[in-house]
Amino acid sequence: MSNNTSSIVSKVWSFCNPLRDVGVGYGDYKLKKNERSHKTEYIEKGV
């Protein structure tokens, strides 16, 4: 793995660990992220 890839992976894990520590699972995170992206689409389209 290159240094750049290792750096990115490290940053991602640094964001994941606090979420995991408070009980947010991967499925919960993806669901919330998906909900937010749909809201953004509606706002951009003026719905």
Which of the pair, 38 or 9, is modelled with greater confidence? 9
**Closest of 21, 20, 42 to residue 29, by C-alpha:** 20
What residues have CB less than 8 Å from 1, skipping those under 6 apart?
A: 9
Against a cut of 0.75, is the pTM above it? no
Is the pLDDT at 22 greater than 80? The verdict is: yes
pLDDT value for 41 = 54
- Summarize pLDDT for 34-43 with one digit per residue, the tens: 787 766 555 5
Which of the pair, 1 or 35, is modelled with greater confidence? 35
Q: What mean pLDDT is reported for the chain?
A: 76
* Mean pLDDT calculated for residue range 15-34: 80
> How many other β-carbons are positioned within 10 Å of the β-carbon of residue 36?
10
